[in-house]
Amino acid sequence: MKNVPEYFGCDVFSTSVMKERLPKETFEEFQRTLETGHRLDITVAKVIADAMKDWAIEKGATHYTHWFQPLTGITAEKHDSFITPTKDGGIIMEFSGKELIQGEPDASSFPNGGIRSTFEARGYTAWDPTSFAFIKNGVLCIPTAFCSYGGEALDKKTPLLRSMEAINKQTLRVLKLFGNEDVVSVKTTVGPEQEYFLIDSEVFHKRKDLVYTGRTLFGAKPPKGQELDDHYFGAIKPRVQAFMKDLDEELWRLGVHAKTEHNEAAPAQHELAPIFNTTNIATDHNQITMETMQKCAKNHGMVCLLHEKPFDGVNGSGKHNNWSISTNTGANLLEPGDTPSENAQFLLFLCAVIKAVDDYQDLLRVSIASAGNDHRLGAQEAPPAIVSMFLGEELTEILESIEKGEDYEGSKEKELLKVGVHVLPRFPKDTTDRNRTSPFAFTGNKFEFRMLGSSASVAGPNTTLNTAVAEVLSQFADELEGVDDFESALHDLIRRVIKDHKRIIFNGNGYDDAWVEEAEKRGLLNLRTTPECLPYMLHDKNVELYKKHKVYSEAEIKAHYEIKNEKYCKYLNIEVLTMIDMTKKDILPCVSRQIHELSDTLIAKKNAIAGIDTSYETIVITKLSNLSKIAFDVVRQLEENSKIVKTIDESDAASFYYKNNIIPLMETLRNAVDEMETLCPSDKWCYPSYGDLLFSVK
């Protein structure tokens, strides 16, 4: 095996590959296009397409695909070969600039929220030149955006790229106020930590619920879970280690900076963390990572579960989104600097994020909403549904001193930095602790948005975050541009923002019931479920936000709203049908057999020995009979309610019907079945138990 630096990125048409294979003038023109954001000239695209094709063929590729991210939450691809027939009956291998720049998949067969009818099938994919092409499974994959014939975005990448343009534009306005004339572009960066479960494929395929829904709909808790905290950071099992080794190698070949891997808190749970990258590239890489995880797990006789809560009673899986803002000169705008001006600048950008999170807490909650994530939020491993920010004790005290106009001495043992405006206090660098219960935590030079679900694309949450911060920076620039006394105006702005938005800052325990009451007093939203939070997408202030910065049109916002509601309902419908199927075909017959066997034993014992104690058989038969009746009755109710919900035309009304009328029945059915499992012999229960699943990988 080669050394990692020798093969890292070998399947990526990277900058170094382009520099080597493209004519100098073409390469330089392409780089200028990336820096300025201008449209790529077709003549340049032709040269790049030819070089890309030759490189891919040398790597063994025969096909190419426009690799895009529709609103299904996963990636999509349609493969076309490079072959072109010749007059003599042969072929040549061709790939044009037009084929590189634009493709044409069916736009009506993907989620579109009513933007496309079945007979309106035309859609387009457009090359995203800011993200490198790569070879996967022998196919040249070209990252693209996906839109309808009318230009409406039908994917997750297009709005993300728009939001990056928005925050770039507004950040440059603010930076110029601080004299940063050398900065020509700004990008947000993300490092998404990915959590997942690994279970043996043999037991996986014996569970209909895992196969159909990705999570266990039934399952009694095993005697041992994660109580001993012995799995977290524990020794990695050889089989898992072999999987991780192959995963790293495949990701490194694709240019993904996989960095950290370890056991997570729950049995069979693990995590992979990459080095941060530009947000749209990090989004592509995370999609590649999830797909590669599932592929590698299969090669090792395992299944990778990416559902947010595959097992009740143990930790679920999230995706911690480490977000920051960086300039083309290498400066991190969320890191205190070495000069007074840099520190004043840091405070302003910090306040911009604080105000953005407070003003658009509803949209941030919407951005991570899903049926799967509803199971996870507020549990011991995930932040609550209430959006708040953690800044750490010292940074919070600094902001309080600014608000009150008081001096802040800080700890004499800390490194003290002067802030640019003399009326602002001095403050220490990098003094934050970590708060696992905080939805949005400052960790020294970035914010960790911890609410994301493990199976979700990071595109949506970062689109929202970028746009919200862009709007606040726009407001700041409007206020500060052209003022006579910049330092005083800056101080007044920072002080006012702290005073008006300090309610969003909370450094305590997010799991404490007292926080729910406190958050309500502060006026913070507590949107516990997906149906409760989705209507906020359509609030006027949120629609205007996206329209102003040209991230979503009003039609696109409504389409995304419909799609989120429809997806929620469809996921729940699949789960309901699966529960009904499992209960009627497997669980109730299994319990009936056990009742029959116990009844035979009871009769045999009574016939053999007069007065013998048969309390065990009698009690278990009674309990199983009562529970099976409850289960059967609930199944019939679920069947009836499933018919009713199909008659509801409005997707939002249907999602609330699932929440209020169907989910409670699902919980009742699960409780009954789980108790029945505890009363049946393990070798006669119809499905592998939680113990079999969680400890299946030896």
What's the CATH number where 308 sits?
3.30.590.10
In a domain? residue 559: no
pLDDT score of 412? 47
Q: Which amino acid is at 300?
A: H
Residues 6 or more apart from 21 whose CB is under 8 A from it? Answer: 51, 54, 55
**Tokens 């606040």 label which residue?**
472
Tell me, yes or no, whether 283 and 182 share the same domain: yes
What would the two tokens of residue 410 be? 């800080």
Tell me, yes or no, whether 586 and 687 share the same domain: yes
Q: Specify which residues 65 forms β-bridges with.
A: 79, 141
pLDDT score of 325? 98
Q: Of 155, 175, 195, which residue sits at a domain end?
A: 155
> What is the per-residue burial (b if ≥16 Cβ within 10 Å, else e) of 70-95?
bbebebbbeeeebeeeeeeeeeeeeb
Helical residues (DSSP H) of 334-432, grouped into ranges? 340-359, 361-367, 371-376, 393-404
Do 349 and 384 contact (CB within 8 A), yes or no?
no
In a domain? residue 291: yes
Per DSSP, the three-state class of 62 is: coil
Structural domain tally of the chain? 3
**Tokens 């999987």 label which residue?**
243
The residue range of the domain holding 131 is 4-155
For residue range 368-382, list pLDDT tens digits in order: 999 999 999 876 667
Tell me, yes or no, whether 593 and 537 share the same domain: no
Per DSSP, the three-state class of 422 is: coil
In a domain? residue 655: yes
Nearest Cα neighbor of 162 from 135, 197, 133, 126 is 126
In a domain? residue 510: yes
Torsion of Cα atoms, 533 then 471 then 441 then 270, to 10°: 70
Residue 646 in this model has a pLDDT that exceeds 50: yes
Average pLDDT in the chain: 91
Q: How far, in Å, CA of 112 to CA of 64, rounded?
A: 25
Residues 6 or more apart from 475 whose CB is under 8 A from it? Answer: none
Q: What are the angstrom distances between the C-alpha of 386 and each of 269, 453, 538?
A: 26, 15, 19
Task: Kindly report the CATH number assigned to the domain that includes residue 25.
Answer: 3.10.20.70
Q: Of 95, 128, 155, which residue sits at a domain end?
A: 155
For residue range 650-679, list pLDDT tens digits in order: 999 999 999 999 999 999 999 999 999 999
In a domain? residue 65: yes
What is the separation of C-alpha 253 from the centre of its chain, rounded to a whole number of angstroms? 23
Tell me, yes or no, whether 634 and 668 share the same domain: yes
Rg, C-alpha atoms of the chain: 28
What would the two tokens of residue 79 be? 């493969």
In a domain? residue 403: yes
Tell me, yes or no, whether 281 and 145 share the same domain: no
In a domain? residue 639: yes
**Tokens 């050889």 label which residue?**
238
pLDDT score of 558? 94
**Tokens 């991210």 label which residue?**
69
Torsion of Cα atoms, 434 then 437 then 442 then 446, to 10°: 90
Residue 426 in this model has a pLDDT that exceeds 60: no
In a domain? residue 223: yes
Tell me, yes or no, whether 180 and 305 share the same domain: yes
Tell me, yes or no, whether 470 and 607 share the same domain: no
Global pTM reads: 0.93
Tell me, yes or no, whether 139 and 177 share the same domain: no
Tell me, yes or no, whether 120 and 214 share the same domain: no
DSSP conformation class of 586 = I
Q: Which helix (H) or strand (E) holds 127?
A: strand 123-127
358-365 average pLDDT score: 98
Torsion sign over Cα 519, 524, 530, 531: positive
What is the separation of C-alpha 103 from the centre of its chain, rounded to a whole number of angstroms? 27
pLDDT score of 476? 98
What would the two tokens of residue 647 be? 């008659």
Tell me, yes or no, whether 615 and 673 share the same domain: yes
Residue 623 in this model has a pLDDT that exceeds 70: yes
Per DSSP, the three-state class of 245 is: helix
Q: Which helix (H) or strand (E) holds 24?
A: helix 24-36
Residue 413 in this model has a pLDDT that exceeds 50: no
pLDDT score of 364? 98
Tell me, yes or no, whether 367 and 257 share the same domain: yes
pLDDT score of 435? 66
Do 381 and 474 contact (CB within 8 A), yes or no?
no
Per DSSP, the three-state class of 307 is: coil
Per DSSP, the three-state class of 445 is: coil
Do 481 and 555 contact (CB within 8 A), yes or no?
no
Residue 416 in this model has a pLDDT that exceeds 50: no
Helical residues (DSSP H) of 146-228, grouped into ranges? 157-177, 201-204, 208-213
Tell me, yes or no, whether 116 and 183 share the same domain: no
Q: Of 125, 155, 185, which residue sits at a domain end?
A: 155
Do 184 and 328 contact (CB within 8 A), yes or no?
yes
pLDDT score of 265? 87
Q: Which amino acid is at 434?
A: R
For residue range 507-540, list pLDDT tens digits in order: 998 888 899 999 999 999 999 999 999 999 999 9
Task: Kindly report the CATH number assigned to the domain that includes residue 642.
Answer: 1.20.120.1560
Q: How far, in Å, CA of 245 to CA of 225, rounded?
A: 26
What would the two tokens of residue 573 be? 């419908």
Do 451 and 457 contact (CB within 8 A), yes or no?
no
φ/ψ of 234, rounded to 5, equals -75, 175
- Read off the pLDDT band of 417 (50, 70, 90): very low
For residue range 187-220, list pLDDT tens digits in order: 999 999 999 999 999 999 999 999 999 999 999 9
pLDDT score of 425? 56
**Residue, of 115 and 523, whose pLDDT is higher:** 523
In this predicted structure, which of 54-63, 390-399, 501-510, 585-594 has the lowest mean pLDDT? 390-399
